[in-house]
Chain A
Amino acid sequence: MNIDRRQFFKVMAAGSAVAVGASPVQARPCKTLPPDAIGILYDANLCIGCKACEHACKDANDMPISGNGPIDQAHGVQGAWDGDDDLNGRTMNKIKAYVAEGSRTALEDPDASFIKRACMHCIDPDCVSACPVSALTKDTFTGIVSYNPDACIGCRYCQLACPFNIPKFQYDKTFPQIVKCQMCAPRIAEGEIPACCDACPTGASLFGRVEDLRVEGHRRLAMQPGERVEFPLNQLGGKTREAEAKKYLPHLYGETESGGTQYLMVAGVPFEELGMPPVGDESRARLSETLQHTLYKGMVAPGLLLGGLVYAAYQHTKEDREDHPEHETSLTDERDPKPESRDD
């Protein structure tokens, strides 16, 4: 090949510069928690798995209960119990049970635990960074990550991006939407608290300012198993109840995960075992945006490259711009006189 090596490496270098940009050391700073951000603290040790929160969530968000068809029919009831076993296109909040391997029931297993799954309302949300049309936005005041179906194109990049696998999509609908917890933003706007916290009888779902919830979370991690302690109900600063503290593992989930979340969790069983994914402490949005913005900062690099490319194309198409009348007429005169018939 007569492209010489120097030229080859020059082009490779230019290509790499465009593709990777400067080194990602000048990463953009992590996003920080809005001072009045609100959130939820879920305490797996207090949760009794009553699913009152699930029911209230469906009610508040006008979501259908999915019954178990055959069982419903057999018993002549309808939608008596929610049949879905995970978050999906009609479920924003799910309580799951964890039972150690080998034990058949929760009663048999002293380490059994519940876990609540819903949007974590990340401080630096990957879904918000990913969405091309800003259908997912983070409120600058409350920090709530909410969804706007009028913007959404249904590309499902948010699903790919979310480290917690939260956004769900209505695959069964002709005109589908993304579904995920929006922390009852409309209720909050009216001075109420999220439906799940409102409904929770034990204080396992607790609403409050994130800063205060972090303090409350750490208070629980420091509790001695067996001691009787006061637990706030529904929201911080309201009613309380007294209960016996169970053993907590020293991990306030959500304090650092994926750059921090506004949904915090404490539990007595390791979070990996409760099915929480291995997200790491860094928000991927940060990496992705840093790379993207170093490349396209002020569109300088692409602009320069474009200038060079257009110049090169101009230089190397000189002949094309000269008019070749013979060439054009040749087309009209002798257009492939007898096209042989070919079969492919």
Chain B
Amino acid sequence: MTEAFRPLGGKLLTRHFYFMGVLVLICGYFLVRRFVFGIGDVSHLSDGFPWGLWITYDVVTGTAIACGGYAMALLVYVFNRGQFHPMIRVALLTSVFGYTLAGASIVVDVGRYWQLYNVFLPQYINLNSVMLEVALCVTLYTLVLWIEFSPAILEAMKANRLLRFMRHILFFFIGVGILLPTMHQSSLGSLLLIAGYKVHDLWQTTIIPLLFLITAITMGYGIVVFESLYASVNLGRKLETPMLAKISAIIPWLLGAYLVLRIGDLFLTGNIRAIAEPGFEPWLFLVEIALFVFAIVTLADKYHRTRPTILFWSSLAVVLGGALYRFDAFMIAFDPGPGWHYFPSVGEMSITLGIVAFEIMAYLFFVKKTPIMATEH
């Protein structure tokens, strides 16, 4: 594990970068409106759909996509697969931004943000609340991620003494950094348990925490593979195909377990009958399953796993399938009763897009200016 990490270098202010900048500015405009005139001014959120795109994408899906760091840490530190160590920093980088910006978007979504610190005050906290656990774990994990990521920054700053100290205590934060996502990624699913009948039968189940956990880890591996391919194409790096082939070999196992649990549970509870009901929900369910089956079929084959194009499409399918699962459960197949409809407004979409654009800008800044990417051999 002694590989050296180097900044990529290169120009930062490219056309892409400016484009992202424009998206961030548009986002800023809507943010100002949201904070001056209230949430109703920029969003289509309502009393029937109190949670919309912001929670579903920025928090529930965004943090799952940001599980790359968690998934890789599991592999390197729990399964002792040191060979993947070179990929850990990039994975951590996306996790850091995914979680930090999820935290930032909570400030936008929550109605009484100036009181957010109440979740830390002992006189207010409610230990029965799944939301409390999610809030505390996500906050803590964001901090832990920055600590885990700090060696890269310290190296860039050449703060050698601090760096040596960090190296000695880091194992503890690595341990915490695996526990916390295990807890809150499953709890993100548990959030829906209390919503009862409002969540469609095909998604409402007592094993939802387990389903969310498995898909979060799988999406973590998916995004690591996807991002590495992206970096190779767009940042002119060598393809890391042999390593990606090994990582993606885990995906069929995880998705297989997920499908057995999910479909088995639907049969056991009898909720599978909802698949025959009219409406578009059964189709959404089938698309989710199809995306996962596609990834399983392509990635189960050793030869396919070494082909970048196939890796690209199947890792994308994993991420999209997991994202669709979350969107369906929280938003699309969510039904609070007759008379309520929801489709995200331009303002909501602009704010979410701006946050994603900001994430990509920060990613580019860090890979170019700080030692994140491992040196190519």
A residues touching B (Cβ–Cβ < 8 Å)? 1-3, 7-8, 11-12, 15-16, 18-20, 24, 87-89, 126, 128-135, 149-157, 159-161, 163, 165, 167-177, 275, 277-280, 284-285, 287-289, 291-293, 296, 302, 305-306, 309-317, 319-321, 323-324, 327-328, 330-332, 335-336, 339-344
Contact = CB atoms under 8 A, between A and B. Distances in A.
B171 A306 contact: no
B4 A327 contact: yes
B170 interface: yes
Contact of B51 (A20, A156, A170, A312): A156
Contact of B135 (A132, A305, A317): A132
A7 B210 contact: no
Main SS at interface, chain B: helix
B257 interface: yes
Interface stretch (B79-87, B271-279, B281-289, B313-321): B79-87
Given A134-B124, A314-B175, A323-B167, 5 more contacts: A171-B38, A177-B112, A289-B128, A317-B174, A341-B11
A134 B125 contact: yes
Interface stretch (B61-69, B190-198, B347-355): B190-198
Q: Which of A132, A163, A177 has the most CB of B within 10 A?
A: A132
A287 B209 CA distance: 13
A155 B4 CA distance: 44
B78 A176 contact: no
Interface residues of B, number: 100
B175 A320 contact: no
B16 A344 contact: yes
Interface string B258-302: 000000000000000000000000000000000000000000000
Interface of B: 1-2, 4, 6-11, 14, 16-17, 35-41, 43, 45-48, 50-51, 74, 76-82, 109-113, 115-116, 118-119, 121, 124-126, 128-133, 135, 155, 158, 160, 163-164, 167-168, 170-172, 174-176, 178-179, 182-183, 186-187, 190-191, 193-198, 206-207, 209-210, 213-214, 234-236, 246, 249-250, 253, 257, 336-338, 364, 371
A137 to B, nearest CB: 9
A336 B9 contact: yes
B163 A131 contact: no
A276 to B, nearest CB: 10
Nearest to A129: B128
Nearest to A305: B179
B128 A7 contact: no
B78 A312 contact: yes
A321 B112 contact: no
Nearest to A1: B249
A332 B159 CA distance: 11
B158 A313 contact: no
Given A169-B50, A174-B37, A342-B235, A153 B130 contact: no
A319 B2 contact: yes
A289 B206 CA distance: 12
Contacts of B160: 328
Nearest to B1: A319
Contact of A161 (B40, B113, B194): B194
Contacts of A159: 47, 50
A289 to B, nearest CB: 5
Given A129-B128, A160-B50, A309-B179, A317 B170 contact: yes
6 contacts: A19-B186, A169-B111, A171-B46, A176-B39, A328-B160, A342-B11
